[in-house]
């Protein structure tokens, strides 16, 4: 599984576009953006998995509202 740290809304928006185009959906979330671990979000598309970690409130809110 690939893990990416995203703390910039601009970087997240670029990645979100790619995730939508490739058919990824959220399959798991852990913690919160304000937690020392950060918000951890797992995405899946078939057998491909990706994990995003963020400490950004803006990124976390956009992930929640993204519809992925």
In the predicted model, is pLDDT for residue 43 greater than 80? yes
User: What is the chain's alpha carbon radius of gyration, rounded to the nearest angstrom?
Assistant: 11
Q: What is the mean pLDDT of residues 42-59?
A: 96
Q: What is the mean pLDDT of residues 11-32?
A: 95
| Residue 48 pLDDT class (50, 70, 90 cuts) | very high
The Cβ of residue 6 has, within 10 Å, a number of other Cβ atoms equal to: 22
| Residue 68 pLDDT class (50, 70, 90 cuts) | confident
Structural domains of the chain sorted by starting position, each given as residue range(s) with its CATH number in brackets = 2-65 (3.10.180.10)
Local structure of residue 44 (DSSP, 8 states): E
Percent pLDDT > 90 in the chain is: 93
Pairing relationship of beta strands 25-30 and 2-5 according to DSSP bridges: unpaired
| Residue 63 pLDDT class (50, 70, 90 cuts) | very high
> What phi and psi, each to the nearest 5 degrees, are found at residue 27?
-120, -15
DSSP assignment string, 27-59:
EEEES-TTSTT-EEEEEEETTEEEEEEE--HHH
């Amino acid at each position: 599984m690939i893990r990416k740290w995203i703390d910039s809304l601009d970087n997240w928006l670029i990645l979100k576009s790619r995730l939508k185009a490739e058919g990824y959906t959220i399959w798991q979330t852990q913690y919160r953006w304000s937690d020392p671990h950060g918000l951890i979000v797992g995405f899946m598309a078939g057998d491909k998995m990706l994990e995003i970690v963020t400490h950004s409130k803006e990124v976390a809110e956009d992930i929640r509202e993204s519809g992925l």
